[in-house]
Structure formats: C-alpha cells, structure tokens
Amino acid sequence: MSIQNLLVELFVEELPPKALQKLGQAFADVLAASLKNQGLLATDSVVTPYASPRRLAVHITHVAAKAADKAVQIKLMPVTVALDAEGKASPALLKKLSALGHDDSVLPKLKRQPDGKAEALFLDSVVDGAALDAGLQKALDEAIAKLPIPKVMTYQLETGTALPGWDSVQFVRPAHGLVALHGSTVVPVKALGLTAGNSTQGHRFEAAVSPVVL
C-alpha cells in the first residue's frame, strides 16, 4: 500500500479577506476528517491548512492510496425467521444472503449469537478499503459543501461541462484551478467544473514562472 503526502489546492479569484482564515481552516478540517473516517490517514498524519487571497489548500502527511480492508459482522435476522422447524434456511434468509452477494455456500459460516432476548444469525465479512480516488472525491465534495461562505455567487462554467456557458455552479468566488497530488501522482478528482492536475498559478506579476508545475 503506497503511503505518500497529499496536497489539494483550489485556485480562485480574490477571497473575502475577513473570512480567509476561517475558510482555509474549515477546508482543511473537513477534508482531513472525511479522509480519516474512510481509513485513508495514519494515526500520525499531520494536517497543514493554507489560505491566501487567491487559494485554499491543505497538505496532509502519510495518506494511503487505499485504506485497509475492514472485518465487519453483519446481523442478518432472528434465528426464528432465518431457520425453519427443521433448522434449514428459510426463503427470507436466502433472499437476504443473495442481496449481500452470497449464496447458500456461506450457511455453515453463519454464527448464532444472543441479540437482546433472542438469538440472531450473523455473517462475518470483509469490506474493501476505500481507494484514494473515490475517497478524496467524497472528501473534497464535503469540504466545499461545508465551507462557511458568508455569501455565495453563481457563475457560468466555460469548460468541463456538458453545456459550456450555460451550466453554472455556486461558490464564494470563481475557481480557476484544482491541484490534487498524492506524492507526484495526480488524483483525478473534480470540483466546480475543474479536473485536478499538477500545476497552479503564481503571483499575478511577481511570479518568475507561471503556471507552476508541482
């Protein structure tokens, strides 16, 4: 499993100065919390927020390309419903197993355990860990949706949409660039009509090179 540092940056037009620090911190906190909940961060991951008049960014150390698989125990149904008088699987149990992607071959593996005042059948299973591509997309969507924006504006998208010039999004200011790097690898997430890459813009007139390739 690849462990690398993660950098995410939104390059935007001038942000409200009074809200800048709060926006930067909220962007970093929500994004990191979502990745942590999905098992993609290490216990010692360090989250560093960045905010300037034209960008919101977060750098997170020790981010996994894929979360570890997780063992889970699934409650199926009460034994009285799952088994008939002869102890054979009922149609209801077989239907439940089918919905979970299993057939009757797992019947010997089911466990009978107390569940309150009655017994229930449980199935031990393994859930695949989240991949960073999907996990970061979810985290980015949450971070943008939960930003404490004093006042949103609506603007039309010129590219990256089915109807350029007609489709619109809402954000604190128009966004013009998105960076998402796991180590040196671009994570192909999307937001606000933008697709992530590995380049950003420098200062309007002091940058020695622009765009800046990361």
Tens digit of pLDDT for each residue in 115-133? 888 899 999 988 889 999 9
Q: Can you read off the two tokens belonging to residue 157?
A: 């998208």
Give the DSSP letter string of 107-161. GGG-EEEEETTEEEEEEEEEEPPPBHHHHHHHHHHHHHHT---SS-EEEE-SSSS
**pLDDT confidence of residue 186:** 97
**pLDDT confidence of residue 101:** 87
Strand partners for 37: none
Q: Is a pLDDT exceeding 90 seen at residue 62?
A: yes
Mean pLDDT of 194-200: 92
**pLDDT confidence of residue 143:** 95
pLDDT tens figures, 24-59: 999 999 999 999 999 999 999 999 999 998 999 999
For the four alpha carbons of 77, 79, 80 and 86, in that order, the dihedral sign comes to positive
What gap in Å lies between CA 108 and CA 104, rounded to an integer? Answer: 9
